[in-house]
Structure 1
Amino acid sequence: MSTKVSSLLLLISALAAASTAVFPLAAAEKATPVVEGLVYCQKCKHVGSWNLDGARLLPSAKVSITCKDHKRRVIFYKCAVTDAKGYFYAPIDGEGRVRTAAFDPATACTVRLVASPDAGCNRLTNVNYGIRGASLRFENKTFADEHCEKELYAAGPLAFKPAFCHPRVHY
């Protein structure tokens, strides 16, 4: 009887070791995706183009991060606010479908402009698809944070345009 029990324990331990070799994501936690980007205020002379020459970074601007599954259902939504230098950093820290091995933020997620705190520069532009939804780029960087490993994705740069621009004089 003891040989059957020891044989059974040996079989179970062999199966557990084999499953971690075949399915490494089951053995280790998947890295948390993180989205970063910059938000600008475009100069009047470049309104209507994607040109950001001379644009200034926009602090406290809001952007949204939306991730959808293969059936186009929203599985993750987050609003992020830029810091004093116009930079946003937001982990995609959802549970469930966001934590699966099939989830790829580069194809599932987009970033959109939401709001600008600057009354003089608060009109949406579609620079880098800030209205339609900017795709994410995998930056091929993985780094360890204090709690887990993170993969870096980037969007943008995105831009608002001034609420009023003087008409251009053409001679």
Structure 2
Amino acid sequence: MDFALSKSFFFLLSFAIFAVSTAEDVTAAETLATSPHHYAAVPPAQPPAHHHYHHHHAPKPAPVSPPTHLPVHPPAQPPSHNHHHHHVHVHPPVHPPVNNAPSHHLPPTKALAPGHEHHRDVRPLLPPAHSPSPMYPPKPRLLRSFISVQGVVYCKSCKYAGVDTLNGATPVAGASVKLICQNTKHPLVQTATTDNNGYFFINAPKAITSYAFHKCKVLLGSSPVAACSKPSALHGGAAGAALKPQKSYIDANKLPFVLYSVGPFAFEPTCPHH
């Protein structure tokens, strides 16, 4: 009885060992059949190390399987492509764009330099250096001329006595007018008398020219009318009026003159009180 049990147990143990050994051989064969390309990409001396890094299988069946599967799959491009697919899936694509980016940006920086040089060549052409000169023609040279002065003398109306107006005024004939110039060490005085319209015209001494007209003034002298003989301050007749240039002309003797004007002047009336 004991011998029969021992025999049965030995038989079952032998069958289990055979089944396990057969299963390992089948598993190794299937593994090599599904991934033969890994052994095709590497020389025969290195397949155990390469197969061990990816699949973590024992190196025992490696020498047996490659001869059976190598003729099936040619060692061309698929092994190298699958090798990079499994090993370098993330890192290699990241670095090439980073290294290539600076190379594309360098040419534009060099290309901008000629643009600035071209702009510098255009800038000197923009400012019109000679155009403003015609806008400012040379001033005409003033010729030295002699001086003549004109004006009119009135007598104010009693209605507007003391008021700076000529309303109702009448011209005074025979009134004297003085032209006084301070151009020399001693003042130069030239007098004139009004006509029936109260108009007077004075030629200054030849020592006085247009270059010194601002040093001359005209003021009232005397009036032939006793009832209207007080010089009025109207237009500077009492203290002296500055000369105002009017025009240039040539007299009968072919001499250049500048005509100035003053006034009109007026005398204050002496009116009876009512």
Q: Is the 8 A contact 1:76 1:94 kept in 2?
A: no
Distance in 2 (CA, whole Å) between partners of 1:74 and 1:63 is 19
Shift of 1:165: 4.1
Q: 1:21 corresponds to which residue?
A: none
Q: Which amino acid aligns with 1:157?
A: P
Within 5 Å, which residues of 2 pair with 1:39-78?
39-69=153-183, 74-78=186-190
Shift of 1:163: 2.3
Q: 1:9 corresponds to which residue?
A: none
Q: 1:161 corresponds to which residue?
A: 268
Q: Is the 8 A contact 2:146 2:206 kept in 1?
A: no
- 2:248 corresponds to which of 142, 166, 169: 142
Within 5 Å, which residues of 2 pair with 1:3-152?
30-69=144-183, 74-95=186-207, 98-99=208-209, 102-103=211-212, 105=213, 107-139=214-246, 141-147=247-253, 148-152=255-259
Structure with higher helix content: 2
Size of the aligned set, in residue pairs, is 133
Structure 2: give runs of 5+ residues left out of the alignment. Answer: 1-140
Structure 1: give runs of 5+ residues left out of the alignment. Answer: 1-23
Distance in 2 (CA, whole Å) between partners of 1:63 and 1:84 is 14
Distance in 2 (CA, whole Å) between partners of 1:59 and 1:39 is 8
Three-state SS of the structure 2 residue aligned to 1:45 is: helix
- RMSD across aligned positions (CA): 2.1
Q: Is the 8 A contact 2:155 2:172 kept in 1?
A: yes
TM-score by length of 1: 0.70
Greater RCO (Cα-Cα under 8 Å, separation 6 or more) = 1
Structure with higher strand content: 1
TM-score by length of 2: 0.45
Check 1:124–1:165 CA distance in 2 against 1; reply closer, same or farther (3 A cut). Answer: farther
Q: Is the 8 A contact 2:162 2:268 kept in 1?
A: no
Q: Which amino acid aligns with 2:197?
A: K
Distance in 1 (CA, whole Å) between partners of 2:273 and 2:241 is 29
Distance in 1 (CA, whole Å) between partners of 2:265 and 2:234 is 6
Shift of 1:60: 0.5
Q: Which amino acid aligns with 2:173?
A: P
Query: After the TM superposition, which segments of 4 or more aligned residues of structure 1 sit over 3 Å from their partners?
Result: none
Q: 2:42 corresponds to which residue?
A: none
Check 1:166–1:74 CA distance in 2 against 1; reply closer, same or farther (3 A cut). Answer: farther
